[in-house]
A and B are shown apart, each in its own frame.
Chain A
Amino acid sequence: MPKLSENELIDALQKGDEAAYRLLIHKYNSMIQNVIYKMVEDQDDTKDLSQEVWIRIWKSIGKFRRKSSLQTWIYRISIHSALNHIRKKQRLRLVSFSHSDALESTTYAESPIASGFDKMDQHDQAAIIRSALNRLTAKQKAAFILSNAEGLSNAETAEVLETSVSAVESLLIRAKRKLKQELLNSYLSE
């Protein structure tokens, strides 16, 4: 398929062009899976959720009004799917509270935090960052990921999260403060 501009690609998708859909998957799949993986931190869940996202894109591309860029719209669908997944998981965790409590203590004992600062490799260090990020609220985490890992501006992050720029700024300030505290507690106290 020849290289298409964003508008041409959207036109083709809205006409139900399967080749355009394949092109879109090639172009944005990595971005979708990365952002979902950072949110849910599970390979299998990431795979399932990204498939869901693609199906939602296919189903709702006809309703896409081009008020935002295609990338922002795809980010929005991905983040919403991840947030819904996290909410569902939290609800499940609440139901089996006693069980998950025991599980969490086991995970903590086996986590790299307990293994000592000097012995850590790069992946352990990244795991500490992830563990600290998990202490944030889902929305704080989403704002932090979009801003720090995906490199989106506050305005773009606000568009993805369907909120105001000032709300994003406040989310980021609280996220960074909490993250710093968590890292301070778990990392440098070694």
Chain B
Amino acid sequence: MATQASECTTYRNLMLEDIVGSLSATEQETLQQHLKSCSSCFKQYATLKVGMEVWRQPSHFIPDEEMIHLVTQKSHKIVFDFFSVYTVRSLASVAAAILIGIGIGLAIPKYDASKYSSYSALQDYYVDMISDDIFSFDLFDEYPLP
């Protein structure tokens, strides 16, 4: 009797291995042989097997129209919201970029070539003189080089 009990304990391990799906084909054969001869183990095995099958069975969740309507509505709302937020953000980004550009443009002083080149200074000097005294023929006598 004691031998039978310890034998059953060994087979319980195999039963659980089988239930969780990690039993090899040979071990499965051995287990089936034992189950044929031991009603107590067979009963426990059947109970376990049914439990696992019940858990494994898909519950039939059928989508009702109300649920589909709700999900479709929510989805569209999110897309709409997303676009409106997206549009506002885009416009704000463009406006900010323009303002930053204008700011930078105003902040940087204009490049004055006369400050950096003596030749340009000379050119400007004569241009000024010519424009001032456009009809003067003795321009170069009156205004010697600086």
Residues in B neighbouring A58, C-beta threshold 8 A: 71, 75, 78-79
Residues in B neighbouring A33, C-beta threshold 8 A: 59, 61
Query: Known interface pairs A126-B55, A148-B56. Does A51 touch B67 (Cβ–Cβ under 8 Å)?
Result: yes
Residues in B neighbouring A128, C-beta threshold 8 A: 51
Residues in A neighbouring B74, C-beta threshold 8 A: 51, 55
Assembly CA distance A125 to B79 (angstroms): 44
Do A126 and B51 have beta carbons less than 8 Å apart? Answer: yes
Residues in A neighbouring B105, C-beta threshold 8 A: none
Give chain B interface residues in 3-18, CB to chain A under 8 Å. Answer: 12-13, 15-17
Do B16 and A184 have beta carbons less than 8 Å apart? Answer: yes
Contact mask B37-80 → A, CB, 8 Å, 1/0?
Answer: 00000001001101110111011111100011011101100110
Binding-face segment, B19-27, B89-97, B108-116, B128-136:
B19-27
Assembly CA distance A50 to B51 (angstroms): 26
Assembly CA distance A58 to B13 (angstroms): 47
Q: Does A29 contact B (CB under 8 A)?
A: yes
Assembly CA distance A151 to B47 (angstroms): 22
The dominant DSSP class at the A interface is helix
Q: Which of B20, B47, B50 has a CB less than 8 Å from the CB of A117?
A: B47
The interface size bin for chain B is 20 to 34
Q: Does B82 contact A (CB under 8 A)?
A: yes
Q: Which of A34, A59, A122 has a CB less than 8 Å from the CB of B51?
A: A122
> A35 — nearest CB in chain B belongs to which residue?
B58
Residues in B neighbouring A51, C-beta threshold 8 A: 67, 70-71, 74
Assembly CA distance A75 to B106 (angstroms): 56
Q: Report the minimal beta-carbon distance from A171 to chain B, rounded to whole angstroms.
A: 13
Do B48 and A125 have beta carbons less than 8 Å apart? Answer: yes
Residues in A neighbouring B63, C-beta threshold 8 A: 25-26, 29-30
Do A129 and B16 have beta carbons less than 8 Å apart? Answer: no
Residues in B neighbouring A124, C-beta threshold 8 A: 51
Q: Report the minimal beta-carbon distance from A75 to chain B, rounded to whole angstroms.
A: 14
Q: Does A142 contact B (CB under 8 A)?
A: no
Q: Does A73 contact B (CB under 8 A)?
A: no
Query: Known interface pairs A26-B63, A179-B20. Does A122 touch B75 (Cβ–Cβ under 8 Å)?
Result: no
Assembly CA distance A31 to B72 (angstroms): 18
Residues in B neighbouring A120, C-beta threshold 8 A: 47
Give chain A interface residues in 108-131, CB to chain B under 8 Å. Answer: 117, 120, 122-126, 128-130
A residues near B (Cβ < 8 Å) are 16, 18, 21-22, 25-26, 29-31, 33-34, 37-38, 46, 50-51, 54-55, 58-59, 117, 120, 122-126, 128-130, 133, 147-149, 173, 175-176, 179-180, 183-184, 187-188
Q: List 26 A-B contacts (CB under 8 A).
A: A22-B72, A25-B63, A25-B68, A26-B63, A30-B58, A37-B59, A37-B61, A50-B61, A51-B70, A55-B71, A55-B75, A58-B79, A59-B75, A123-B54, A124-B51, A125-B48, A125-B52, A126-B52, A129-B55, A148-B21, A149-B56, A176-B20, A176-B22, A180-B20, A187-B48, A188-B15
5 nearest CB pairs, A to B: A125-B51, A33-B61, A58-B75, A126-B54, A29-B63
